[in-house]
């Protein structure tokens, strides 16, 4: 089989990494290989679909309008109104407690910075193994201990044991995403409610990341907003649901006691999300029922890709845990293949298919792989064929 790059795997690693693994994000590293050399990007969580045509047209119409200066720091008022209108149909939420920011990444970083200032920094941070990169890297940046808490054999948690771990490690921040990334677990009502009650009883803060909430496979994920708890922060974004990851428009919701502190920090480290993009988004949401039709079609495409690719990978020897949503397949490599980084490097070198080694998310998952399935069906089908050829060569 012809190699995708004119390099054997040893030379590929020596030239691209100076004989060492990347020091930064594996997601950026493997995704950039595709951006620079071509291939199929199943590495970064980039949707392979165009945003809604109505949204693009709204942006086009605004190019010559007067919306090119700073937006209000709180967010475009029309956009805030649309967000509040959507959530107030299900929850008792205050529009003043929403804050529009530069993607969910800023939302998470902003909350973390605020809590570090509030708590003084002498605490640990916990998330569930495997954890999205921001959850583990923020504590590293702030020089704080990170606790990677394992799921049990049923992909849930022993709450009594979790309480003990939180107490012994002085955990003050817990991250949870539902559906998750890289593992698309959707947390149940019971699990989420127990975590909220535990947060209030043990006085820690739960940061609930709902970026993939619209990309569920069966049942819609439960959201903890009905609690209106000062111990819960809610994060979301338009990046995935509308295929606009490059627009960087996210938002958070927090109890009113945190409002002033979050806003003041945001003023100095984020200021505002792009003005013209917020305006276009507000226009689109107002006239398209918050994008419901587009999101439903996108959700069906992602689910169809999972249902197509997962059985092929399992036939090739991969092991895939029960997955309820999100943009990814989280898979254990076939028996006898233990180094996910070497596998991902050689797979790209030989086929041009970029994936992410599991060790990026946890040292306990060195023999795992994450594959982005939010791509066109023909791309997923081509990638499946290339992976099969690679393994059977």
The 3-state secondary structure of 223-280, one letter per residue: CHHHHCCCCEEEEEECCCCCCCCCCCCEEEEECHHHHHHHHHHHHHHCCCCCHHHHHH
Task: Return the percentage of the chain with pLDDT > 90, whole number.
Answer: 92
Q: Is residue 1 part of a domain?
A: no
Q: Is residue 199 part of a domain?
A: yes
- 154 lies in the same domain as 81: yes
Domain end marker among 239, 265, 289: 289
Residue 29 CB neighbours (<10 A): 22
Q: Give the per-residue pLDDT at 9.
A: 47
pLDDT of residue 10 exceeding 70, the answer is no
- 187 lies in the same domain as 319: no
236-264: per-residue pLDDT in tens? 999 999 999 999 999 999 999 999 999 99
Q: Is residue 23 part of a domain?
A: yes
- Which long-range contacts does 298-301 make (Cβ < 8 Å, 24+ apart)? 298/47, 298/49, 298/214, 298/215, 298/241, 298/243, 298/374, 299/214, 299/215, 299/216, 301/49, 301/374, 301/377
Q: Which domain holds residue 220?
A: 53-289
Q: Is residue 143 part of a domain?
A: yes
Q: Give the per-residue pLDDT at 367.
A: 98
- 72 lies in the same domain as 40: no
Domain end marker among 289, 314, 331: 289
Domain end marker among 289, 319, 345: 289
Cβ(4)–Cβ(11) below 8 Å: no
- 112 lies in the same domain as 217: yes
- 203 lies in the same domain as 58: yes
- 46 lies in the same domain as 57: no
Q: Give the per-residue pLDDT at 105.
A: 96
- 297 lies in the same domain as 265: no
Q: Is residue 120 part of a domain?
A: yes
More confident residue, 93 or 7: 93
Q: Give the per-residue pLDDT at 1.
A: 36
Q: Give the per-residue pLDDT at 359.
A: 96
- 25 lies in the same domain as 151: no
17-54: per-residue pLDDT in tens? 555 788 888 999 999 999 999 999 999 999 999 999 99
- 235 lies in the same domain as 186: yes
Q: Give the per-residue pLDDT at 7.
A: 43
Q: Give the per-residue pLDDT at 22.
A: 84
Q: What is the mean pLDDT of residues 105-115?
A: 98
Q: Is residue 349 part of a domain?
A: yes
pLDDT of residue 8 exceeding 90, the answer is no
pLDDT band at 393 (very low <50, low <70, confident <90, very high): confident
Q: Is residue 344 part of a domain?
A: yes
- 256 lies in the same domain as 165: yes
Residue 76 CB neighbours (<10 A): 26
CATH number of the CATH domain containing 303: 3.90.1150.10
Report the domain count for the chain: 2
CATH number of the CATH domain containing 263: 3.40.640.10
295-349: per-residue pLDDT in tens? 999 999 999 999 999 999 999 999 999 999 999 999 999 999 999 999 999 999 9
**Average pLDDT, rounded, for the chain:** 94
- 119 lies in the same domain as 72: yes
- 251 lies in the same domain as 300: no
């Amino acid at each position: 089989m012809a190699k995708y790059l004119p390099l054997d795997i040893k030379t590929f690693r020596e030239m691209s990494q100076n004989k060492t693994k990347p020091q930064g994000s594996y997601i950026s590293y493997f995704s950039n290989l595709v951006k620079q050399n071509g291939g199929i990007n199943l590495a970064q969580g980039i949707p392979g679909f165009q945003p809604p045509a109505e949204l693009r047209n709204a942006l086009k119409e605004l190019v010559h309008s007067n919306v090119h200066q700073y937006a209000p720091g709180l967010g475009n008022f029309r956009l805030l109104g649309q967000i509040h209108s959507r959530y107030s149909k299900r929850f008792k939420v205050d529009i003043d407690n929403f804050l529009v920011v530069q993607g969910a990444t800023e939302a998470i970083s902003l909350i973390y910075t605020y809590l570090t200032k509030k708590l003084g920094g002498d605490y640990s941070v916990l998330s569930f193994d495997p954890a999205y990169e921001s959850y583990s890297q923020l504590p590293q940046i702030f020089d704080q201990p990170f606790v990677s808490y394992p799921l049990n054999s049923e992909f849930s948690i022993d709450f009594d044991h979790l309480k003990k771990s939180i107490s012994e490690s002085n955990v003050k921040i817990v991250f949870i995403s539902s559906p998750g990334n890289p593992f698309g677990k959707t947390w149940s009502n019971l699990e989420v409610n127990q975590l909220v009650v535990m947060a209030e009883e043990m006085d820690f803060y739960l940061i609930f990341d709902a970026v993939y909430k619209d990309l569920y496979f069966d049942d819609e994920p439960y959201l903890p907003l009905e609690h209106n708890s000062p111990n819960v922060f809610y994060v979301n974004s338009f990046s995935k649901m509308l295929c606009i990851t490059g627009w960087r428009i996210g938002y958070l919701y927090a109890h009113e006691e945190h409002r002033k502190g979050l806003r003041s920090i945001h003023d100095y480290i984020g200021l505002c999300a792009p003005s013209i993009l917020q305006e276009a988004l507000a226009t689109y949401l107002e006239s398209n029922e918050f994008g419901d039709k587009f999101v439903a079609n996108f959700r069906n495409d992602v689910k169809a890709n999972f249902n197509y690719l997962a059985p092929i990978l399992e036939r090739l020897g991969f092991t895939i845990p029960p997955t309820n949503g999100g943009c990814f397949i989280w898979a254990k490599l076939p028996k006898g293949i233990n180094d996910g980084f070497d596998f991902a490097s050689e797979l790209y070198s030989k086929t041009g298919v970029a994936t992410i080694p599991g060790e990026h998310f946890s040292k306990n998952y060195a023999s795992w792989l994450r594959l982005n399935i939010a791509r066109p069906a023909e791309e997923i089908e081509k990638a499946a064929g290339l992976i099969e050829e690679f393994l059977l060569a």
